[in-house]
Amino acid sequence: MTPHGRRPRTGAATASPAGPKAASGAAPRPASAAPPRAGTHVSRRGPLPGGAGETYDVVVVGAGVVGCAIARALARYPLRVALVEAADDVGEGSSKANTAILHTGFDASPGTLEAGLVRAGHRLLTGYAAEAGIPVEPVGALLVAWDETQRAALPGLAAKAARNGHHATRIIDAAELRRREPHLGPGALGALAVPGESLVCPWSTTLAYATQAVRSGVRLLLGCRVTGIAPRPGAPHRLTTTRGPLTARFLVNACGLHADRFDALLGVRDFAVTPRRGQLLVYDKPARSLVRHILLPVPGPLGKGVLVAPTVYGNVLLGPTAEDLDDRAATGTTADGLAGLRERGARIVPALLDEEVTAAYAGLRAATGREDYRCAARPDRRYVTVGGIRSTGLSASLALAEHVLGLLAECGLRTGPERPLAPVRMPNLGEAFPRPYRDAAAIARDPAFGTVVCPCEHVTLGEVRAALASDLPPAGLGGLRRRTRAGAGRCQGGHCRPALRALSEEYGKGAGTR
């Protein structure tokens, strides 16, 4: 199982999105391996590139935040890697509907895999975000105690945080709490302050990983559902997919909500996924001044409760609910769920309820009945499962990817020498950082950055065009919204959607199958 060599790219080549072309030299390759060229790294439909049964060193199945992070980690090595995804875009499952928080891991169960990976992931992603232009705001969290039982629990939570390596938490009294959060509802008795808990843009993170992976040679195969795996003891896996067959020397299951079903394709039955739905409400930007920290509930016998948190986009989130379901596609909201959230929110920040709701959504977390991740290497099958990533996958993603490299090594993967990844710089979607509509220089260079197409979110024509022309363009208006915020504001696209649709169609025609 010797990894075949591919010449590491030169720095000059990696600095450009068109870089991979420069790699097509005389380096020895396996017979099947024509080097992917820029523009062909992402494919959404039709027969798979490379012909039937194309062989990859590693196939990562599932392009959520975790799968994309794993693909990006693998892209550092001279390996042929495919990232395979059933949906038509990255981050279409749990990764697109979460609380958008970069956790420190202070409240994880000490000693678990999750505790270690969230803690390491927080550090790694904080650094990566700065480098890649992903907005992060380290506003810190306050675990607010609303009764004596909760207040009595705070020292224990501080001690748990310390066992998780977080020594900077501090218990504050009601007076200090009120100074730090003047709009908090009456009756708060105190709080545990947790510095380091941060707001992050989850979509930019997933996209940055995927873009960097793709620019560094990973093939992203979208709209490609794996339907079967032929048992071939000792030989590479033969996968049948909705877009044709492909072959994998090593296989990674990063299927999130569907991880147990993918395991079953290989006859592995370790755990069952129970989708746990979380409904959330997003409040309009005037609400942002009401909330300064991530306001977390004190976990108790009645469950984890709901949080109130700002977002990097300048909104305020209220949620999530926690409902165990059977249906892995039940991402609708319910009247009871939304009413319950409003009831809780009215206690935490009463003035929040007077603001307009801009969005209501629901995400599904992949609960497996154990308060830890379910990661396993199966050297006999050259197969790694990354399961049970319930709600901290975004925070842990970069550390999880490194962990998976270790598991693949246990399975026998030899990666070859490390090389630099193609750089990535994401367009900023965060209100705390400069955005094009306020950037005189950007507008001077291209007046399209002075044409606001989505007035609610101040998204410019220049940003929309850039997203449509990017290495990983959106498949539809939902993907465009996650890339630019266009249509994500208070009118939910009522104003700009027709124009955005026209722009997308114009680009779709011009850009062929991309």
Partner 1 sequence: MNPRPEQDRAARSVDVLVIGAGPAGLAAAARLAAAGAGRVEVLEREPEAGGAPLFCARPGFGADPRGRALDGPGYARRAVRAAVRAGAVVRTGVTVTGWAGPLTLETTAPTGLAAVGARAVVLATGARERSRPARLLPGSRAPGVLTTGELQRTVTLFGARPEHIGRRAVVAGGDPVAGHAVRLLRRAGVAVAAVVCEGPRAAAGPAGLPADVPVLAGAVVTELAGRGRLDGVTVRDRDGRTRTVRCDTLVLAGDWIPEHELVRAGGLPLAPGGRGPLVDAALRTGVPGVFAAGGLLRGGEPAARAAAEGRAVADAVLARLDGRDPGPARGLPVVAGGAVHRVHPGLLGPEPAPLVLWAARPLVRPVLSVGQDGRILRRARLGTGLVPWRPLRLGPGWTQDPDPGGGPVVVRAEDGGDGTG
Q: What is the 3-state secondary structure (H, E, C) of 98-141?
A: CCCEECCCCCCCCCCHHHHHHHHHHHHHHHHHHHHCCCEECCCE
Rounded to an integer, what is the distance from CA 504 to the centroid of its chain? 24
Residue in 156, 498, 510, 511 binding partner 1, rule: CB under 8 A = 498
271 binds partner 1 (CB under 8 A): no
Q: Which helix (H) or strand (E) holds 395?
A: helix 393-410
* Selection from 82, 92, 119, 87 nearest residue 103 by Cα: 119
Q: Segment 453-482, which members bind partner 1 (CB under 8 A)? A: 455-456, 458, 460
Q: Segment 309-368, which members bind partner 1 (CB under 8 A)? A: 329, 331-335, 337-338, 342, 356-362
Least separation in angstroms between CB 338 and partner 1: 5
Distances (CA, A) of 75 to 6, 30, 68, 413, 422: 12, 17, 10, 14, 9
- If the CB atoms of residues 344 and 458 are measured against partner 1, the closer one turns out to be 458
Q: Is 324 helix (H, G, I), strand (E, B) or coil?
A: strand
- If the CB atoms of residues 238 and 495 are measured against partner 1, the closer one turns out to be 495
Contact letters for partner 1, residues 420-439 (x by CB under 8 A)? -----------------xx-
- If the CB atoms of residues 165 and 286 are measured against partner 1, the closer one turns out to be 286
How many Cβ atoms from other residues are within 10 Å of residue 312's Cβ?
A: 24
Which residues are annotated as catalytic? 103
Are the C-beta atoms of 305 and 344 separated by less than 8 Å?
A: yes
Query: What is the rounded CA–CA span in Å between residue 466 and residue 474?
Result: 11
- If the CB atoms of residues 133 and 286 are measured against partner 1, the closer one turns out to be 286
Contact letters for partner 1, residues 225-264 (x by CB under 8 A)? ----------------------------------------
Task: Kindly indicate which of the ranges 70-78, 219-227, 380-388, 493-501 contains the residues binding partner 1, using the contact rule CB under 8 A.
Answer: 493-501
Q: What is the DSSP string of 13-70?
A: HHTSTTGGGGG-SS----TT-PPPPTTSSEE-SSSPTTSTT-EEEEEEE--SHHHHHH
Q: Which helix (H) or strand (E) holds 383?
A: strand 383-387
Query: What is the rounded CA–CA span in Å between residue 156 and residue 445?
Result: 56
Residue in 196, 490, 504, 507 binding partner 1, rule: CB under 8 A = 490
- If the CB atoms of residues 252 and 338 are measured against partner 1, the closer one turns out to be 338
- Which residues on neighbouring strands pair with residue 184, listed in sequence order? none
451 binds partner 1 (CB under 8 A): yes
Least separation in angstroms between CB 497 and partner 1: 6
Distances (CA, A) of 310 to 70, 125, 263, 335, 443: 29, 19, 37, 23, 29
Least separation in angstroms between CB 349 and partner 1: 17
Residue in 433, 494, 511, 513 binding partner 1, rule: CB under 8 A = 494
Query: What is the rounded CA–CA span in Å between residue 477 and residue 493?
Result: 10
208 binds partner 1 (CB under 8 A): no
- Which residues on neighbouring strands pair with residue 308, listed in sequence order? 295, 318
Residue in 423, 443, 508, 514 binding partner 1, rule: CB under 8 A = 443
Contact letters for partner 1, residues 135-174 (x by CB under 8 A)? ----------------------------------------
Least separation in angstroms between CB 452 and partner 1: 4
- If the CB atoms of residues 97 and 213 are measured against partner 1, the closer one turns out to be 97
- If the CB atoms of residues 284 and 372 are measured against partner 1, the closer one turns out to be 284
Q: What is the DSSP string of 154-211?
A: HHHHHHHHHHTT----EEEEHHHHHHH-TTPPTT--EEEEETT-EEE-HHHHHHHHHH
495 binds partner 1 (CB under 8 A): yes
Task: Kindly indicate which of the ranges 48-56, 305-313, 380-388, 490-498 contains the residues binding partner 1, using the contact rule CB under 8 A.
Answer: 490-498
Query: What is the rounded CA–CA span in Å between residue 102 and residue 120?
Result: 12
Residue in 52, 444, 469, 511 binding partner 1, rule: CB under 8 A = 444
Residue in 81, 281, 294, 408 binding partner 1, rule: CB under 8 A = 281
Least separation in angstroms between CB 356 and partner 1: 6
Are the C-beta atoms of 396 and 64 separated by less than 8 Å?
A: no
Region of residue 91 (left: phi > 0; alpha: psi -120 to 50; beta: else): left
499 binds partner 1 (CB under 8 A): yes
Please give the residue ranges that form the binding site for partner 1 (CB under 8 A).
281-282, 285-286, 329, 331-335, 337-338, 342, 356-362, 437-438, 440-441, 443-444, 447-448, 450-452, 455-456, 458, 460, 490-495, 497-499, 501-502
